Amino acid sequence: MCKQGDESVLHVLWECGVAQDVWVGSKLCMQKCTTFRTDFVTLVKDLMERLQVEDLEYFFVQCWVLWNQRNSVVHGGCIQDPSRLVQRAKDFIQEFCDAQT
């Protein structure tokens, strides 16, 4: 997506500059993290120990939005502003919650 690193799942969803900007702007208020992780599974295990269930749900929805952004870029689309990607995740969760009531 950013063409600045190996396009692993970890890079696309966590290490990429676009992803880091999304996480900084997200409701989870994650700072740009320089901690080395070997893979996405290790990251998820770490977050599962630290985050509440609601925040984990948000994390996975935000990952889904980031992966959709990656697919869009791969297939000729352009990178959206990180704040728009954050809002997409919030909107998706709100729509899901509204549908449950």
Q: What is the pLDDT of residues 9-65, one digit of tens each?
A: 999 998 888 998 999 888 886 655 555 678 899 989 988 988 899 999 999 999 999
Instruction: Give residue 53's identity as a one-letter amino acid code.
Output: V
Q: Any alpha helices (H) in 1-101, and if so which ranges? A: 9-10, 17-25, 40-50, 53-74, 82-100
d(CA 83, CA 23): 10
Question: According to the model, what pLDDT value does residue 30 have?
Answer: 67
Q: What is the pLDDT of residues 67-76, one digit of tens each?
A: 999 999 989 8
